[in-house]
DNA sequence: CGTGATCTTGAGGGAATTCAATGTCGGTGG
DNA sequence: CCACCGACATTGAATTCCCTCAAGATCACG
């Protein structure tokens, strides 16, 4: 099983292997992409903070998170930042067809990602119609995720944070305890708030008994219904 | 050429023909859907304010605007509203695969819409791979549109309105004069602002000479570069 | 155990909202 | 034809929520 890994020292060097086109993506690990697509692409590892692809680069690959966590973000010229989404194991990102990526993708934690060339999928889609359908379904899921995120951004701070925590718990953890792979800053940029407001809001949710912090990055959802009360 | 039209009296009756499944969508008018998909589906007419599909209904059709304008919106239980997007002639909406619609679609003005069953497209995609690709491309465009919209919602009021006007001008009109099919309320709900703020901001943009109002619903972009200065 | 990054908390200010009133436009009927 | 009506739009004043700036606390790491 061929596995491409970025050397440790790449961690703080910005871009690392974001254009795997120079490698032959021979068939390997990949379990399934969405459902019926399997056994295509290469597994790659990225260190914490390393860029997976950059804004403006041609979108030639899909990426499926195998382990760790990834964020997509865009930085405006005046420095404001927006995190488009967080991707956890099982999630697929980089779905934008044609053209170039509008966002940059970065590893939040060390992570493994299955990388699949668009053209490989399209070629397979011609043989297997289920693959073509899968492709549509994946983009479609991303549309839904973005639609839901739009709704978040019209709410107030407690509602945004509560919805974020509930969403994360639903995706990432079986129980009521969630490990946050991302920083407060990341959360803030995702929710369209400042770090201070996120921090204050988390404190507030704690003060009303909705959540409990066993550590800074580990949150226990003490009272889900209280949280849901914020989420109309 | 078969053409299904909603009777005038349907205008203020809420839902009207939102589930065209009872009609045989025989091949008709449709020019092209995206590029290569053509001659499928039925052309339908909707009166101003009429619902095209409702939130929660199964997503079984694509819709391509032939004339007029459409908005998608979602109403939260507490009454807050979010307009997901405005769709003008040539635009495709209702791309969410599987599942149900998360948003409601309504005709802003009287409009004609080409309605195409998902299954019809999927069937064609099996014969023509270009159609499958087209399908992906359409969802992908929607992803891009939503990504861009996310960025809007972290900006301040003048930036949001300026970006909105520039975007609309780019899509809808060859010159510098744009006709707004939607109300200030619609714009506000799209931009995550209140009507009052939108109104104030338009007045402000007018006061600095960026735009001119020949009527309430017709805006002339006097100084595009001034507008773009708001759009980082 | 220090050092820097990350997180929390506080105080003050500003942008958008809320509430309220006035102004404008298009349509309808006298 | 024009006056009236209701829907839509604009403007004003007060308030609220979040941001900004600043300081202190906590955590991870060498």
pLDDT digits (tens, 9 = 90+) for B71-81: 999 999 999 99
- Residue A38, classed as helix, strand or coil, is coil
Higher-confidence residue of B155 and B38: namely B155
Mean per-residue pLDDT over chain B, rounded: 86
* Nearest-CB residue to B154 (from A80, A133, A140): A80
CB B196 under 7 Å to nucleic chain D: yes
CB A199 under 7 Å to nucleic chain D: no
Does B133 touch chain A if contact means CB atoms closer than 8 Å? Answer: yes
Give nearest nucleotide to A186 (CA–C1').
C6
Mutation for testing the A interface, residue in B122, B131, B150, B190 having most A CBs under 10 Å: B150
Asked if B82 and A151 come within 8 Å (Cβ–Cβ), the reply is: yes
Q: Indicate the pLDDT class of residue B39, thresholds 50, 70 and 90.
A: low
The alpha carbon of residue A227 is apart from the nearest alpha carbon of chain B, in Å, by 16
Protein-proximal nucleotides of chain C (any atom < 7 Å from a CB): 6-11, 15-20, 24-26
Name B212's Cβ contacts closer than 8 Å, sequence gap at least 6: B206, B219, B220, B222
> What is the structure's pLDDT at B6?
38
CA distance A189 to A72: 11
Chain B hits for A103, CB-CB cut-off 8 Å, are: 147
The alpha carbon of residue A123 is apart from the nearest alpha carbon of chain B, in Å, by 9
Asked if A146 and B144 come within 8 Å (Cβ–Cβ), the reply is: no
Chain A: residue nearest B77 by CA?
A232
> What is the structure's pLDDT at B99?
86
pLDDT tens for each residue of chain A, 232 residues long: 334 443 333 333 334 444 443 333 333 333 345 554 556 789 999 999 999 999 999 999 999 999 999 999 999 999 999 999 999 999 999 998 878 999 999 999 999 999 999 999 999 999 999 999 999 999 999 999 999 999 999 999 999 999 999 999 999 888 899 999 999 999 999 999 999 999 999 999 999 999 999 999 999 999 999 999 998 8
Q: Which of B79-88, B89-98, B190-199 has the lowest mean pLDDT?
A: B89-98
Once rounded to an integer, what is the mean pLDDT over residues B108-129?
Answer: 93
The alpha carbon of residue A183 is apart from the nearest alpha carbon of chain B, in Å, by 19
CB B208 under 7 Å to nucleic chain D: no
Tracing tokens 């709410």 back to the chain, one arrives at A155
> What is the structure's pLDDT at B31?
39
Q: Is A183 exposed, middle or buried (0-12, 13-18, 19+ CB in 10 A)?
A: middle
> CA–C1' span, B80 to C14, in Å?
24
> What is the structure's pLDDT at A25?
36
Q: Indicate the pLDDT class of residue B23, thresholds 50, 70 and 90.
A: very low
CA distance A124 to A120: 6
Chain B: residue nearest A96 by CA?
B140
Asked if B139 and A144 come within 8 Å (Cβ–Cβ), the reply is: no
pTM recorded for the entire structure: 0.88
Percent of chain B scored above 70 by pLDDT? 83
B16-22's contacts with Cβ under 8 Å and 24+ in sequence apart are: B16/B46, B16/B47, B16/B50, B16/B51, B17/B44, B17/B46, B18/B51, B18/B52, B18/B53, B18/B54, B18/B57, B19/B53, B19/B57, B20/B44, B20/B61, B20/B115, B21/B60, B21/B117
Once rounded to an integer, what is the mean pLDDT over residues B16-20?
Answer: 42
The size of chain A, in residues, is: 232
Asked if B146 and A147 come within 8 Å (Cβ–Cβ), the reply is: yes
Asked if B151 and A82 come within 8 Å (Cβ–Cβ), the reply is: yes
Asked if B96 and A144 come within 8 Å (Cβ–Cβ), the reply is: yes
CA B69 to mean position of chain CA atoms: 6
Say if residue B101's pLDDT is above 50: yes
- Residue A212, classed as helix, strand or coil, is strand
Contact in structure between B145 and B135 (CB atoms under 8 Å): no
CB B199 under 7 Å to nucleic chain D: yes
> CA–C1' span, B181 to D1, in Å?
30
Asked if B126 and A125 come within 8 Å (Cβ–Cβ), the reply is: no
* Nearest-CB residue to A126 (from B129, B143, B147): B129
CA distance A107 to A104: 10
Contact in structure between B170 and B231 (CB atoms under 8 Å): no
CA B71 to mean position of chain CA atoms: 5
């Amino acid at each position: 099983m061929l596995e491409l890994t970025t050397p440790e020292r790449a961690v703080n060097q910005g871009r690392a292997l974001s254009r795997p086109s120079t490698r032959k993506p021979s068939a390997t690990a990949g379990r399934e992409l969405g459902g019926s697509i399997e056994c295509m692409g290469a597994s790659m590892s990225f260190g914490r903070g390393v860029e997976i692809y950059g804004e403006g680069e041609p979108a030639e690959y899909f990426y499926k998170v195998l382990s760790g966590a990834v964020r997509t973000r865009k930085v405006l010229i005046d420095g404001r930042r927006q995190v488009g989404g967080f991707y956890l194991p099982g999630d697929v990102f980089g779905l934008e067809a044609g053209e170039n990526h509008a966002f940059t993708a970065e590893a939040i934690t060390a992570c493994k990602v299955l990388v699949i060339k668009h053209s490989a999928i399209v070629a397979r889609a011609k043989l297997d119609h289920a693959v073509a359908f899968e492709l549509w379904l994946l983009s479609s899921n991303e549309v839904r995720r973005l639609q839901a995120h739009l709704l978040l951004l019209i709410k107030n701070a407690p509602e945004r944070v509560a919805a974020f925590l509930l969403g994360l718990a639903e995706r990432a953890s079986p129980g009521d305890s969630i490990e946050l792979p991302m920083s407060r800053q990341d959360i803030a940029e995702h929710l369209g708030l400042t770090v201070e407001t996120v921090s204050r809001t988390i404190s507030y949710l704690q003060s009303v008994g909705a959540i409990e912090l066993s550590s800074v990055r580990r949150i226990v959802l003490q009272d889900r219904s209280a949280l849901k009360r914020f989420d109309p």
